[in-house]
């Protein structure tokens, strides 16, 4: 499920305990601009998002900003942010899954060809790799 970018901005601001007025001052934009970003009326510039990440102390909004571009949707996995304990457990589970497909990856790649009969195993391995990447990113994007 795609995250609502405006809601991400609003939640990050509120979690930073900033009013729209004070956030606007710190971001060097108008209160109307902050409101419009949070209601998905206007999209902030990349420069403004970088400021938001710093002011709100929130890396996830930057990731979601990129994820809400056409290129980002094609290459960036969907990431959910968990509490640190849940994030670590999820990451460990995904790493266990990578261990389970390690031999398939080696067997398939050893000849530098993916044969038609190997495609289902390869696609499963790629799925597991993407899930492990998303899990690792969820840890990297936790705010502290």
Domain boundaries along the sequence of the chain: 5-75, 84-140
Q: Which DSSP string corresponds to 50-118?
A: HHHHHHTT-SHHHHHHHHTSHHHHHHSPP-----HHHHHHHHHHHHHHHHHHHHHHHHHHTTT---GGG
Question: Is residue 6 pLDDT above 70, yes or no?
Answer: yes
Residue appearing with tokens 């930073």: 16
Q: Six-digit token pair at 123?
A: 């696609």
Q: Which CATH superfamily is domain 5-75 in?
A: lambda repressor-like DNA-binding domains (1.10.260.40)
CA distances from 58 to 15, 21, 36, 47, 128 (A): 9, 19, 19, 15, 27
Q: What is the pLDDT of residue 2?
A: 45
Q: What is the pTM of this model?
A: 0.82
Q: What is the pLDDT of residue 32?
A: 98
Nearest residue to 36 (alpha-carbon basis) of 63, 12, 6? 6
Q: What is the pLDDT of residue 3?
A: 59
Q: What confidence tens digit (pLDDT) does each residue in 59-70 have?
A: 999 999 999 999
Residue 98 to residue 49: CA distance in whole angstroms = 34
The better pLDDT of the pair 80, 57 is held by 57
Percent of the chain with pLDDT over 90: 92
DSSP 3-state assignment of 22?
helix
Q: What is the pLDDT of residue 143?
A: 82
Q: What is the pLDDT of residue 51?
A: 98
Q: Which residues contact 42 (CB under 8 A, 6 or more apart)?
A: 33, 36
Question: Is residue 128 pLDDT above 60, yes or no?
Answer: yes
> Lowest-confidence range among 80-84, 93-97, 126-130?
80-84
Average pLDDT of the chain?
94
Q: Stretch 47-65: mean pLDDT, rounded?
A: 97
């Amino acid at each position: 499920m795609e995250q609502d970018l405006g809601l991400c901005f609003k939640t990050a601001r509120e979690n930073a305990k900033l009013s729209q007025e004070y956030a606007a001052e710190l971001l060097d934009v108008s209160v109307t601009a902050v409101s419009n970003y949070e209601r998905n009326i206007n999209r902030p510039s990349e420069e403004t998002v970088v400021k938001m990440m710093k002011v709100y102390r929130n890396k996830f909004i930057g990731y979601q900003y990129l994820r809400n571009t056409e290129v980002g949707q094609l290459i960036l996995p969907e990431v959910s942010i968990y509490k640190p304990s849940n994030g670590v457990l999820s990451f460990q589970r995904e790493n266990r899954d990578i261990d389970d497909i390690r031999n398939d990856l080696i067997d398939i790649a050893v000849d530098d060809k993916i044969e038609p009969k190997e495609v289902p195993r390869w696609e499963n391995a790629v799925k597991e790799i993407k899930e492990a990447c998303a899990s690792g990113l969820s840890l990297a994007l936790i705010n502290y």
